[in-house]
Amino acid sequence: MTDEIFDDLKGIEGPRNVQIRNPALIERLVDTGDKIVDKHSKEMPDPDVLDELERMDGFYSKVYNEVMLAASNINFDEQDIATFVRAKASHDLVGKQAKVLGIYSGCLAQLLTERNALQGKRTTIHLDGEGYAFDYLFYFARVLDTVILENFKGDEILAHVGNFGGRADTLVCNGIKGYSCLLSVGSYNGKVNKAIAIDVEGSGTLMSSGSDRGYVSQVFGISLKGDASLSSCATTYGFVEQVIGVGVTDGSDNLSAICTLDDAAGAVNQILAVDINGSGTLNNTGNKKSRINEVIYDGIVGSDIMNLNLMDSGICREVIDREQVRATHSPFQAERIEA
């Protein structure tokens, strides 16, 4: 199954090395970003408040249109974005200033993606942060193709991507230290194909993916440390095909509250939980209006596992304990769930 998930990533070039080919161009990108931060940080809504989060649709559009105008005569590519990110990494901005800088980086990535699309080209942004910090990197970017970020430190990296009617194909975070990585991707009527987190240390990884009438095909976390990872997916009329957690440790409430929020409907085709260590795994998953087709779990250690009986409540069509299947030697089920 994991091989199938990564098939689409084969052939992607390695991360960009930072080589400043045009210092004047990078200086213009940096200068434009500084002006955007100074102008818009005081008026930015608070994404941590629901009503204000919904206002981010108009705010992002306003900033993006301004960036598009300011960069109308700046021809930049993936290498230039890598150089810009390195130039602004470990900045001393905090609060809304840091968030607006993250939004600006997302606007640059989206602008390049849309320019390339007009030429029939896909855009792959593959960056190795080499341990540098960049909170809110590509924050709220609405339209992206493939983005792979490795070895960064920072909170809410690639958070809220593909929201508000946006879309993204493949989002990957590997070797990240920071909370809420890939938070709420493909939400608010947005669409994301794959959201993948590997070796991420921090709570809230992949939380709320495909929520609020959003859609994500695969939400996949492997080797995660922190609380509430892969939680609250597909809430409020959202839909996620697969929520997959493998090797999620050192935290609580992972893969919990899926399809559960304010008694609003949500749907997940399959939840796969393997080698999860911590209390509250799969807790409070589903409600009477939600539908989960299948839950498969194996190697879950901790207290209060699945305190809601999914099958008895009619929320889930089938719940399979792979350890129990192996013990009872059911050839049909064993072959099916190992496939």
Residue 83 to residues 16, 99, 127, 248, 277: CA-CA distances in angstroms? 9, 19, 10, 33, 39
| pLDDT at 23 (0 to 100) | 86
Return the sign of the alpha-carbon dihedral for residues 150, 153, 159, 161.
negative
Angle at CA 158, nearest 5°, toward 156 and 163?
105
| pLDDT at 51 (0 to 100) | 85
| pLDDT at 339 (0 to 100) | 54
Mean pLDDT by 10 residues, the chain (339 residues): 58 57 89 96 92 93 97 94 94 94 98 97 96 97 98 98 97 98 97 98 97 96 96 94 93 88 80 90 77 87 60 70 65 57
Each residue's pLDDT tens digit, 122-147: 999 999 999 999 999 999 999 999 99
| pLDDT at 326 (0 to 100) | 62
Q: Two tokens at 137?
A: 């990197």
Q: Two tokens at 74?
A: 């700046």
Instruction: Give the C-alpha separation, 246 to 224, whole Å.
Output: 8
| pLDDT at 320 (0 to 100) | 81
Global pTM value: 0.90
| pLDDT at 332 (0 to 100) | 60
Strand order through the sheet with 291-301: 124-128, 143-150, 167-174, 191-201, 215-225, 239-249, 267-277, 291-301, 316-321
| pLDDT at 301 (0 to 100) | 81
Helix (H) or strand (E) holding 226: none
